[in-house]
Chains A and B, each alone.
Chain A
Amino acid sequence: MSSVLFDIPGPKARARHRLIMIVSAVLTLLALAWAISRFAAKGNLEAAKWTPFLTGDIWVNYLIPGLINTLKAAAISVVLAGAFGLLFGIGRLSDNAAIRWISTVIVEFFRSVPVLVMMVAAFGLFSFNRVFEASINPLAAVITGLTLYNGSVVAELLRSGVGGLPSGQSEAGLAIGLTRSQTLRSILLPQAITAMLPALVSQLVVILKDTALGAIITYPELLTTFSQIGSYKSNPVPALIVIALIFIAINYLLTSAAAKIEARLRDKGRATIAKGTIGPPNRVDLEPVEEALIAADESVLHERYRTPDK
């Protein structure tokens, strides 16, 4: 799309762009060099602080167990959030006003309370009422917080996914004699879920990142290992950087996967709702709902994505 915004640069513009590039590159490099020199001055580039990460010890005893806990919490939360979202998403589409209202209140409430607050509350509630076996309380609290928030997001996605379908779809269903719930189940939902797929995968990134909040309520996930490694090898800063890189790598893979799925669906001529940009791939948002809402709200955007020839 960039080509729409500016003319193909001529010789003068190219020279100017080159100048801008060189200046900004030099500035970036200077800032980086300064930062690195400061880190070096504080002794954080010493080989002794980084070599532990080349040994199996740190990986086997700290990073990998932490990562497994992180993935475990994320995986369980995804499944539960999917179920929660399906339940209340359908609830919000219900004919029954009472069900619709209750679902709306639940979804809106859990969308506006911070995940961390829900985790802390769930942890306290579970611990002092002995809801679960003591040792799984932290995990249960992490999952509860993630499920309630992300489940609400999924419910919203589902609602806007169904809302974004052409009205002809449900009209056709009703015309051939299906009941409303049959239409919803066998015509609208399958299409909405397919359309949601990229947004769902990108929601995984949100979940994975938010498991790091579990550190605050004693859940031994990846981020908590940094103080242990830091004390063991006197290298908290390198430990933090390595952990950040692990998070970034995994999330980047997920983000790319979401973009691939979206591209594939679009090739097949299906509408996807995690959109809003015609830009390059790899774009996934914190709140895929945002896009979903624009998609629903602004038919302009929508028409863009409907392949006209099919």
Chain B
Amino acid sequence: MGELFSQYNVLGAFGITIVLTVLSALGALVIGTVVAIMRVSPVGFLNKLGALYVNLVRNTPLTLIIVFCNIGFIVNLGMSVSDDFARNNLVWATIGLAFYHAAFVCEALRSGVNTVPAGQAEAARSIGLTFGQSLREVLLPQAFRGAITPLGNTLIALTKNTTVATAIGVAEVAGLMKTMQEDRPDLMVPIFLVVAIGFVILTLPIGLVTTHLSQKLAVKR
């Protein structure tokens, strides 16, 4: 197994996986929150726009979205961020992952908003808070706490889904795994175990932390 680590840059590939995960998680959280606010907002149009977004994105295979980020946004819309293809693809894979998982973040937040009793919203309104104020001061803080478990699960899914970035040539773990497998079919099982255990190491703490947090931060009612 040591052979694999000396011959291939396994840790470097996992590094890219982690970079993809962290950056797109942040992006997904921001975009998802915006879409969630759109979906509960009093403006019907924004509501529908948010629903359309969630339905389109959630029902499309991620591979397609990632490939489209390259040929749609980079090639057709000319939205390059760098002349260096490797960096460009990394950035657009991050954006694609962020937009895809934002739909799930939005749904998680909506389910979080629903854990907040109606009385809270009514109380917020009755003391004269506007829609924005009641979201900011009363509902969202509770919604985030109520949505920790689904948010954590989305983060776990995102970590695993970064492997799809290999479709546009981002040098992450799944691509390296394929190369290793083609070069060293004799080490098939160790290769799988290294990659699989790597992902277990990455995702297991997320699950543990979110379970702990969801219990600790649960709003007592």
Contact = CB atoms under 8 A, between A and B. Distances in A.
- Do A and B share a direct contact in the complex (Cβ within 8 angstroms)? yes
Interface of A: 1-2, 4-7, 9, 13, 17, 20-21, 24-25, 28, 35, 38-39, 42, 44, 108-109, 112-118, 120-121, 124-125, 128, 205, 209-210, 212-213, 215-216, 223, 236-237, 240, 243-244, 247-248, 251-252, 255, 275-280, 282-287, 289-291, 293-294, 297-298, 300-301
Given A252-B59, A287-B157, A212 B199 contact: no
A16 to B, nearest CB: 9
Contacts, number: 218
B150 A278 contact: no
Given A128-B185, A255-B59, A4 B42 contact: no
Given A112-B156, A120-B181, A282-B55, A216 B166 contact: yes
B49 A300 contact: no
A117 B177 contact: yes
Interface of B: 39-47, 49, 51, 55-56, 58-64, 67-68, 71-72, 75-78, 104, 107-108, 110-111, 113-115, 118, 121-122, 125, 131, 134-135, 139, 146, 149-150, 153-154, 156-157, 160-161, 163-164, 166-167, 173-174, 177-178, 181, 185, 188-189, 191-192, 195-196, 199-200, 203-204, 207, 214-215, 218, 221
The B interface is mostly helix, strand or loop, or mixed, namely helix
B196 A109 contact: yes
Given A113-B196, A114-B160, A216-B167, A286 B58 contact: yes
A213 B62 CA distance: 9
Which of A20, A28, A276 has the most CB atoms of chain B within a 10 A radius of its CB? A276
B76 A297 contact: no
Q: Considering the complex of A and B, which 4 residue pairs feature the smallest CB-CB distances, nearest first?
A: A276-B111, A251-B59, A212-B61, A290-B150
24 contacts: A2-B47, A5-B40, A7-B125, A17-B44, A20-B46, A21-B45, A44-B76, A109-B200, A112-B200, A113-B195, A113-B196, A114-B199, A124-B185, A205-B59, A209-B59, A215-B63, A223-B64, A244-B68, A275-B111, A283-B107, A285-B104, A290-B111, A290-B150, A298-B218
Contact of B108 (A38, A209, A290): A290
A279 B114 contact: yes
The A interface is mostly helix, strand or loop, or mixed, namely helix
B49 to A, nearest CB: 7
A218 B185 CA distance: 17
Contacts of A286: 58, 104, 153-154, 157
Contact of B61 (A1, A128, A223, A285): A223
A40 to B, nearest CB: 10
B41 to A, nearest CB: 8
A300 B119 CA distance: 14
A290 B149 contact: yes
Which of B56, B76, B146, B221 has the most CB atoms of chain A within a 10 A radius of its CB? B76
Contacts of B160: 112-115
A5 B71 contact: no
A276 B150 contact: yes
B199 A117 contact: yes
